[in-house]
């Protein structure tokens, strides 16, 4: 598997021959991995799939045929039609992925029609599942069409179709935080089938990738809390808990700096992303294929570089939105166990009356024993004889009076608090409507539409009209001072830790300047 991914698209015949030898050893697990990575003769693999009796090898060959036809479009029709008519459901399963990868990103109506027809007509559940997931590959450039198409399939009686519909919506709407897509998957989180709940968790996690806690009316925050609860719940089924664990890692993939994407910044479909995502979906049958999802992750950042491929410190991008709208979600905090406090015993009214009666009796006895010398004792006895309920009422009345005074005269209350050394509560400052991001910085796909360049700063991009898209790319910058270009590399940070290279004179903190050479090739500064 690793050899195939490392030599993806290289047409290295040496690797092909070694994988073929491994395939023909008739080992089930090794044969599946070798079949997934072989990009060789289609007819030879088809013949071998009829001879072997191992389902894993047949499935590996089926996925191999699907990967071979990536981007072939009409040229793959003959192979797809032959695989669709096969009696083996595993070959028909591979035909759906072959069709999806052949028309990946094209939005072909013919491919969509075939996939939908198979989703409702094939007798095998796995083939139906693959056909629904294939819609996300074909329509990844127009993702808003996927929720509309699979809306009815989410209500299918077949749990495999419902699972595939959840995955298709998640793949198509990954990183968007779309509320409509989330509302479609929300009922599936409580489905009776455990693998459908797993698909709903994975699909929702894809949609909420790189979204702040306030996204979708704090729906992202509540979903994260739900994942934490499912992971720690001992009564959940294995598949549901597995989906919660995978979703927890997926929603924070790449340290929350990556997004799931099948296309490049220029709008082209990336072969490595499509292949990695297609193989990841096979973890249903082989868990080690979970790691191939990393091929479909794309870092979302903006980096400004000058002519020397160093990034300036004093180059910023303005984002016309609240900082909390695109902030990192808060990290999970471990709950601390609080020390158990002793519960105070509640005094009953009957007990208070009994104590008062005993106090009156004792006072009377002391008065009789003292012979009239208990004037003060009478007063004390009377005071002690007050029922506890009356004392509670008086204290409550005092508290109410105090609250009324505080509410009626806030100025006096503030003055008293200040005189008594109390601290005033700080007023919450309003959140700014815009902020600046440094260089380099994370810029998500949804954040890119709110970002713009500040053309008044020292460095400006060569193409000011090009917005900083939420993908990994570099801007060539033009340093200006007083309307003219300055030296290359000025006020720029070096590639390693921001240190200027040897032989460079630093004019200002964090600024480096290219050295000048004398006639003898000697380097000298300024």
Q: Which residues pair with 523 in a beta bridge?
A: 517
- Interatomic CA distance for residues 164 and 196, integer angstroms: 8
Q: What are the tens digits of pLDDT across the range 7-58?
A: 555 555 666 666 666 666 666 555 555 545 444 456 777 877 888 888 888 9
- Interatomic CA distance for residues 282 and 453, integer angstroms: 43
87, with CB counted inside 10 A (0-12, 13-18, 19+), is exposed
Q: Could you tell me how far CA 281 lies from the centroid of its own chain?
A: 18
Q: Residue 165 has which token pair?
A: 């519909």
SS3 per-residue string spanning 411-475: HHHHHHHHHCCCCCCCCCCCCCCCEEECCCEECCCCCHHHEEECCCCCEEECCCCCCCCCCCEEE
Percent of the chain, pLDDT > 70?
68
Residue for token pair 């450039």: 141
What is the per-residue pLDDT for 363? 86
Q: Is the pLDDT at 503 greater than 60, yes or no?
A: no
What is the per-residue pLDDT for 375? 47
SS3 per-residue string spanning 337-384: CCCCCCCCCCCCHHHHHHHHHHHHHHHHHHHHHHCCCCHHHHHHHHHH
Q: How confident is the model at residue 415 (pLDDT cuts 50, 70, 90)?
A: very low
Q: How confident is the model at residue 514 (pLDDT cuts 50, 70, 90)?
A: very low
| Mean predicted lDDT score pLDDT of the chain | 77
Task: Tell how strand 317-319 and strand 435-437 pair up.
Answer: antiparallel
What is the per-residue pLDDT for 145? 94
Angle between helices 271-280 and 55-68 (to 10 degrees): 160
Q: Residue 439 has which token pair?
A: 């260089």
Task: Tell how strand 492-493 and strand 451-453 pair up.
Answer: unpaired
What is the per-residue pLDDT for 454? 82
Residue for token pair 């005094």: 347
232 or 375, higher pLDDT: 232
What is the per-residue pLDDT for 188? 95
Q: Is the pLDDT at 357 greater than 60, yes or no?
A: yes
473 or 298, higher pLDDT: 298
Radius of gyration of the chain (CA): 36
Q: Is the pLDDT at 167 greater than 90, yes or no?
A: yes
Q: Is the pLDDT at 329 greater than 70, yes or no?
A: yes
Q: Is the pLDDT at 505 greater than 50, yes or no?
A: no
Q: Is the pLDDT at 489 greater than 70, yes or no?
A: no
What is the per-residue pLDDT for 45? 75
Residue for token pair 């050479």: 517
Q: Residue 384 has which token pair?
A: 């002690």
- Reduced to 3 states (helix: H, G, I; strand: E, B; else coil), residue 320 is coil
What is the per-residue pLDDT for 242? 94
Mean pLDDT across 412-432? 59
What is the per-residue pLDDT for 368? 81
Residue 471 sits at φ, ψ, to 5 deg, of -140, 165
Torsion angle of the four alpha carbons 185, 188, 190, 192, in this order, in degrees rounded to the nearest 10: -170
Q: What are the tens digits of pLDDT across the range 444-470?
A: 888 888 888 888 888 878 777 777 764
Q: Do residues 436 and 317 lie in contact, with contact meaning Cβ atoms separated by under 8 Å? A: yes
What is the per-residue pLDDT for 524? 41
Q: How confident is the model at residue 322 (pLDDT cuts 50, 70, 90)?
A: confident
Q: How confident is the model at residue 61 (pLDDT cuts 50, 70, 90)?
A: confident
Q: Is the pLDDT at 492 greater than 70, yes or no?
A: no
What is the per-residue pLDDT for 367? 83
442 or 352, higher pLDDT: 442
What is the per-residue pLDDT for 336? 73
Q: How confident is the model at residue 404 (pLDDT cuts 50, 70, 90)?
A: very low
- Interatomic CA distance for residues 345 and 244, integer angstroms: 44
What is the per-residue pLDDT for 243? 94
Q: Residue 357 has which token pair?
A: 């009666």
Q: Is the pLDDT at 399 greater than 70, yes or no?
A: no
Q: Is the pLDDT at 436 greater than 80, yes or no?
A: yes
- Interatomic CA distance for residues 242 and 233, integer angstroms: 12
Mean pLDDT across 221-240? 91
Q: Residue 56 has which token pair?
A: 């894993």
159 or 333, higher pLDDT: 159
Cα–Cα nearest to 297, from 394, 174, 392, 198 = 174
What is the per-residue pLDDT for 302? 84
Q: What is the pTM of this model?
A: 0.69
Q: Residue 506 has which token pair?
A: 């630093």
What is the per-residue pLDDT for 428? 76
């Amino acid at each position: 598997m690793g050899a195939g991914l490392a030599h993806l698209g290289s047409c290295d015949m040496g690797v092909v021959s070694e994988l073929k030898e491994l395939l023909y050893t008739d080992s089930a697990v090794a044969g599946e991995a070798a079949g997934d990575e072989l990009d060789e003769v289609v007819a030879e693999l088809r013949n071998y799939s009829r001879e072997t009796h191992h389902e894993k090898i047949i499935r590996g060959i089926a996925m191999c045929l699907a990967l071979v036809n990536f981007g072939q479009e009409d040229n793959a029709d003959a192979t797809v039609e032959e695989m669709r008519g096969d009696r083996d459901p595993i070959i028909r399963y591979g035909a759906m992925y072959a069709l999806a990868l052949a028309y990946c990103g094209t939005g072909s109506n013919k491919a969509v029609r075939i996939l939908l027809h198979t989703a409702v007509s094939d007798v095998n559940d796995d083939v139906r599942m693959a056909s629904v997931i294939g819609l996300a590959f074909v329509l990844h450039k127009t993702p808003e069409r996927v929720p509309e198409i699979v809306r009815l399939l989410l209500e299918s009686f077949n749990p495999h179709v419902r699972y595939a519909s959840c995955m298709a919506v998640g793949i198509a709407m990954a990183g968007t935080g779309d509320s409509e897509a989330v509302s479609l998957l929300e009922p599936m989180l409580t489905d009776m089938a455990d693998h459908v709940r797993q698909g709903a968790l994975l699909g929702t996690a894809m949609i909420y990738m790189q979204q702040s806690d306030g996204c979708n009316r704090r729906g992202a925050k509540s979903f994260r809390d739900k994942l934490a609860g499912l992971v720690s719940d001992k009564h959940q089924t294995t598949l549901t808990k597995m989906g919660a664990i995978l979703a927890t890692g997926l929603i924070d993939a790449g340290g929350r700096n990556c997004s799931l994407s099948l296309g490049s910044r220029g709008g082209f479909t990336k072969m490595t992303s499509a292949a990695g995502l297609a193989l990841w979906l096979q973890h249903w049958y082989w868990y080690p294929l979970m790691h191939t999802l990393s091929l479909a992750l794309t870092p979302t950042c903006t980096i400004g570089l000058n002519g020397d491929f160093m990034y300036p410190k004093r180059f910023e991008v303005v984002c016309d939105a609240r900082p909390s709208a695109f902030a990192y979600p808060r990290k999970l905090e471990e709950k601390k166990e609080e020390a158990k406090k002793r519960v105070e015993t509640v005094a009953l009214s009957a007990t208070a009356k009994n104590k008062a009666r005993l106090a009156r009796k004792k006072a009377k006895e002391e008065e009789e024993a003292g012979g009239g010398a208990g004037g003060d004792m009478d007063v004390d006895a009377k005071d002690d004889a007050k029922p506890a309920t009356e004392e509670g009422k008086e204290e409550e009345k005092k508290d109410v009076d105090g609250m009324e005074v505080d509410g009626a005269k806030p100025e006096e209350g503030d003055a008293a608090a200040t005189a008594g050394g109390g601290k005033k509560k700080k007023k919450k400052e309003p959140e700014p409507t815009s902020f600046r991001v440094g260089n380099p910085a994370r810029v998500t796909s949804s954040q890119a539409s709110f970002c713009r360049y500040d053309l008044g700063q020292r460095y400006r991009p060569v193409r000011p009209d090009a917005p900083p898209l939420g993908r990994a790319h570099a801007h060539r910058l033009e340093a200006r001072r007083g309307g003219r270009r300055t030296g290359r590399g000025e006020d720029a940070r070096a590639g390693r830790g921001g240190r200027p290279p040897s032989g460079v004179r630093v004019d200002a903190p964090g600024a480096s300047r290219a050295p000048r050479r004398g006639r003898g090739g000697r380097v000298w500064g300024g």
